[in-house]
Amino acid sequence: MLSWEQLWNEGLNDTYRAMYALAHRIAPAKGIGWHIWHNNSFSPFYRAEQDYAEFSKYSDFLKVVMYNNCGGPRLAQYVRNVHTTLFADLAPGQVLDFTYGVQQYHEQSLDRIPKEGLSADYVLRETKRALAGVAPHVKIWPGIDIDIPTGANDKKTQPDDVYQAVKAAFQGGAHGVLLSRKYSEMKLANLRAAGRAIRELKTS
């Protein structure tokens, strides 16, 4: 299974390398970069494949997904999935604790993260981690989620969530943020919160 995963991942990275080379032959001054999936925050196997130093050889920027609002429900679903398969010898809470330990961030318990999401501290830590891994020329633009749909009883984005996440990204050293996923999903109050955070950072 891991060999197949590695084969698939290397195939994707070969595509990135080819696109980077072609793009820079056509327009050397224009940047090109990649979206690092949210699974980077959950699966230690996927995370191990995302070599930021290697990405630096064929990237001008990385959009690292740090969706903290829908991140709670997504992390809970990941734990439930791998608890029934790969980590079937562990209780769900143990799988979550293992995930926190290996991924080097700690959030709420399994019964709370679907309803509360992940914190701005998660965004801060993941931003710092990405910056520590890339070469100086690579820009890190964290993906901040705004109103990505979740289950009926799961976490919904609030203005303060966006405000705190955007501030955390810049406090972690981000070169910018990408408000995600798409404008048609976003409530204006939540978009305004992102703008408020950026304006405050510019004047501080």
* Local confidence band at 37 (pLDDT 50, 70, 90 cut-offs): very high
* Local confidence band at 3 (pLDDT 50, 70, 90 cut-offs): confident
Degrees to nearest 5, angle at CA 28 with 23 and 33: 50
Whether pLDDT at 48 is above 90: yes
- Report d(CA 183, CA 177) in Å as an integer: 14
Q: Judge whether 142 and 174 are in contact, CB under 8 Å.
A: yes
Query: Structure tokens of 124?
Result: 């801060």
pLDDT of residue 155: 98
Q: How many CB atoms lie within 10 A of CB 33?
A: 18
pLDDT of residue 203: 85
The closest of 141, 145, 155 to 187, measured between CA atoms, is 145
What is the C-alpha radius of gyration for the chain, rounded to an integer number of angstroms?
18
pLDDT of residue 141: 98
For the chain, percent of residues with pLDDT exceeding 90: 96
Q: What are phi and psi of 139, to 5 degrees?
A: -90, 140
Going 117 to 119 to 125 to 126, the CA torsion angle's sign is positive
* Local confidence band at 204 (pLDDT 50, 70, 90 cut-offs): confident
Interval 124-148 mean pLDDT? 98
> Which architecture does CATH list for 2-203?
Alpha-Beta Barrel (3.20)
**Whole-number average pLDDT of the chain:** 97
Interval 149-167 mean pLDDT? 98
pLDDT digit string (tens) for 55-112? 999 999 999 999 999 999 999 999 999 999 999 999 999 999 999 999 999 999 999 9
Interval 6-35 mean pLDDT? 97
- Alpha-helix runs per DSSP H in 41-187: 44-49, 52-55, 71-83, 92-103, 113-116, 120-133, 159-171
pLDDT of residue 26: 98
Whether pLDDT at 29 is above 80: yes
Q: How many CB atoms lie within 10 A of CB 22?
A: 11
pTM: 0.95
